[in-house]
Structure 1
Amino acid sequence: MSDFRHAPHAFLNAIFDPASSNEKDLFSRHLRDDVIFDVACPVNRLQGREAVIEEFYTPLKRALTNARRRDEIFIGGPNRRAPGGHWIASVTHYLGNFDEPLFGVKQSGHLAFLRSGEFYRIEADGRISEAKIIIDLLDLMRQAGRFPLPHMLGTEMLFPGPATHDGILPKDQADGEKTLDLCETMLADLKAFDPETFSSKGQTGDDGYWHDDMLWYGPGGIGSNYRWSGFEKDHRAAFLTAFPDRVGGDHYCRIGDGNYAAVSGWPSMTMTHRGDYLGVPATGKSLTLRVMDFYRCANTKIMENWVMLDYLDLFHQMGRDLIAEQG
């Protein structure tokens, strides 16, 4: 298959380009009639092109006045996991003045950057047949001054782009398989951990997977952190205390592209809520978690990791409606 990344990249940005004309034709040329979008809670599944337009893109453009799309990572490759095929993975922001409510989140009347993690299956005709999208509505609440959770963990911040500024349509795609190999091996070892220290074998040190100066960019509710010690303190300890039996890695997509890799499961993780988490007492409930990870690697080390989690869905399973609770 030729370089299939360019057409969807142009299309997804053209949706928010005021110079684009004949929007109906634009969507018909790039979305299949029976396309399915699985979007984070509370949107969830949208079936068919018209539903995608009317229930995702139209509300997004209405809420964010003069909305624009700003990609930070945009990669593509053959999927190692069933159902196979060729997939795009992207970290982006939708920016605009947040002037009307979006999926129940109240407006701020000010500039907002709505972060989004996105996976698209691209068919041989170049059109999109399937998408998985996690928009971080919890972080949007934070930006609007309506954050419903306690600030307990990492630094809540705008997602930065890659330090190397080369995450959009990488040129050296041949290294993608090696990059994905590294990330898959890391994930396999990450599953087991010491319940006292929350460490996993092989993650750090000279022979470890992660660079000493690793950066981990987490979603709203968790925030971002620096170095493995920060990752353990500001995310992993709290998460594994609350969900000690978590099992992850049930992915529908794993791709590599140059120094980048991306993996996602819908859901990826199953677990039991056995400890307090972000102000929610243990419920004992069995839970699932939708996950997206995007990695930048260099010299056989993972340098940066962008993480999107559908926390509105997770907290809904724990009996909390965070949209209803927004300040």
Structure 2
Amino acid sequence: MSIISQFYDALANDLSLTNIVSEDVTLYASEPVNELHGIDAIKQQYWKILSTSLYNIERRPFIEFDSIHNNHKWIAATGYLIGDFVNDLLGIPATKKPVYLRFTELVQLQNEKIVNYYIIIDFLDVMHQAGVNPLRKSLGHDGLIMPPTTMDGLNPIESYVEQSQQSEQLVLSMLEELGRFDGQSLASMQLENFWHPAFMWYGPAGIGMTRGISDFRKNHQGPFVFSFPDRVVDHKAAIIKKGNYVSTGGWPHMHGSHLAGGWLGLPPSGIKLELRVIDIWRRENNLLKENWVGIDIIHMCKQMGLDVFAMMKDAYHLR
């Protein structure tokens, strides 16, 4: 059982966490949970919220791997928190049916204990499942996110010593290529040199999934880069790699000024935003084949002055 599984097992069974997390553990969760310090805060302001709303909640990752970054062990993972949606969740009305909370996470260990836990939970997708999403329908495909085509995402194997370094270099080169956008044409970023023709981009609710470069450009990249023309990635982000898998992320991971309309159908706010993002890529031969992306869109909207939870209540006449 991985240390993250131990963490949730201890929370679910009200067991001691002292052998699992550091005394000064910090949880960085998506809006509106945000930053929590210490075990008691995590129990009361994170776990209690989830476990009260989702009966028999369980964590089901389909990707989870670890590596060393800056002399610390890190774990990257994505999957679903699943439970029976019996009570409202942060004002989202309970469906009385199973619900899937998509998560993407980075976990930092110190002395074999969790010291920093970053998790993006797609609460907007929960609204979508409950039929109360106040934002426009995703341009991409909405629905359950698939595990890796190769079904090898849980503790992937490194077949040779240089494998993870090659995967990391491909991702870093691709990210450098994204920085070559000339502000005019999406073709100025030569993604075909890095991405498989049938590349799957598993985006969050509000954006959706895309397949192939043209679909990605049409339904996500185009609206995003033109809306945030000065976007900058924080190079202090963690990089975790294992075999053909690479994860990057930070808190925040990107900054950009919202200077044009189009993204999510929202008008420009003119505000410089910080973006909480966690990416996981899978390499296939010399190209990237799949990308699972966690973005805290509700937090971005809040910085624009939009309270998505209040919008939901108003739009659907909820208490």
Aligned partner of residue 148 in structure 1, secondary structure: coil
- Deviation at 1:298? 1.5
Answer with 250-259 or 155-164: which moved more: 250-259
Deviation at 1:256, TM superposition (A): 0.5
- Following TM superposition, by how much is the alpha carbon of 1:251 offset from its aligned partner in structure 2, in angstroms? 3.9
* Other-structure match for 1:96: 83
Q: Are residue 87 (structure 1) and residue 74 (structure 2) matched?
A: yes
Q: Cα gap change, 1:152/1:70 in structure 2, threshold over 3 Å: closer, same or farther?
A: closer
Of 165, 187, 190, the residue aligned with 1:177 is 165
1:8 corresponds, among 3, 8, 15, to 3
Aligned residues of 2:234 and 2:252 also touching (Cα < 8 A): no
CA–CA distance in structure 1, aligned partners of residues 235 and 139 of structure 2: 26
The reply on whether 1:39 has 2:6 as its aligned counterpart is no
Question: Could you tell me how far apart the structure 2 residues matched to 1:50 and 1:63 are?
Answer: 19
Distance 1:10 1:274 in 2: 42
1:141 Cα deviation from its structure 2 partner = 0.4
Partners of 1:200 and 1:178 lie apart in 2 by 24
Matches within 5 A, 1:21-36: 23-25=14-16, 27-36=17-26
SS of alignment partner, residue 290 of structure 2 = strand
1:245 aligns with 2:245: no
For 1:117, give the aligned amino acid.
Answer: T
| More moved, 84-93 vs 100-109 | 100-109
The equivalent residue for 1:3 is none
Distance 2:250 2:158 in 1: 26
Query: Which residue is 2:264 aligned to?
Result: 278
Aligned to 2:221: 236
1: CA distance, partners of 2:300 / 2:67:
29
For residue 19 of structure 2, give the secondary structure of its aligned residue in structure 1: helix
| Contact 2:142/2:208 (<8 A) preserved | yes
Is the 1:97–1:111 contact (alpha carbons within 8 Å) kept by the matching residues of 2? yes
Inter-partner Cα distance in structure 2 for 1:198 and 1:16: 46
Displacement of 1:152 in angstroms is 4.5
2:178 aligned partner, one-letter code: L
Amino acid at match of 1:244: P
Q: Name the Cα RMSD after superposition.
A: 1.7
Mapping for residues 155-234 of structure 1, pairs under 5 Å: 155-172=141-158, 174=161, 175-204=163-192, 208-234=193-219
Identity %: 33
| SS of equivalent residue, structure 1 residue 54 | helix
Structure 1 residues 137, 160: CA separation in 2 closer, same or farther (over 3 Å shift)? Answer: same
Closer, same or farther: CA 9–40 of 1 in aligned 2, 3 Å? closer
TM-score, with length taken from structure 1 = 0.90
Count of matched residue pairs: 310
**Is the Cα contact below 8 Å between 1:295 and 1:305 reproduced in 2?**
yes
Aligned-residue offset at 1:66? 1.1
**Tell me, what secondary structure is at the counterpart of 2:91?**
coil
Q: Shift in Å at residue 15 of structure 1?
A: 4.5
Q: How far apart are the structure 2 equivalents of 1:78 and 1:284?
A: 38
TM-score by length of 2: 0.92
Show the counterpart of 2:139. 153
Work out the CA distance in 1 between the residues paired with 2:236 and 2:68.
Answer: 14
The unaligned stretches of length 5 or more in structure 2 are none
Counterpart Cα distance in 1 of 2:61 and 2:34: 23
Q: How far does residue 51 in structure 1 lie from its aligned partner after superposition?
A: 0.9
Partner of 2:127: 141
Shift in Å, 1:195: 3.1
Letter in 1 for 2:215: G
Q: Distance in 1 between matches of 2:18 and 2:96?
A: 33
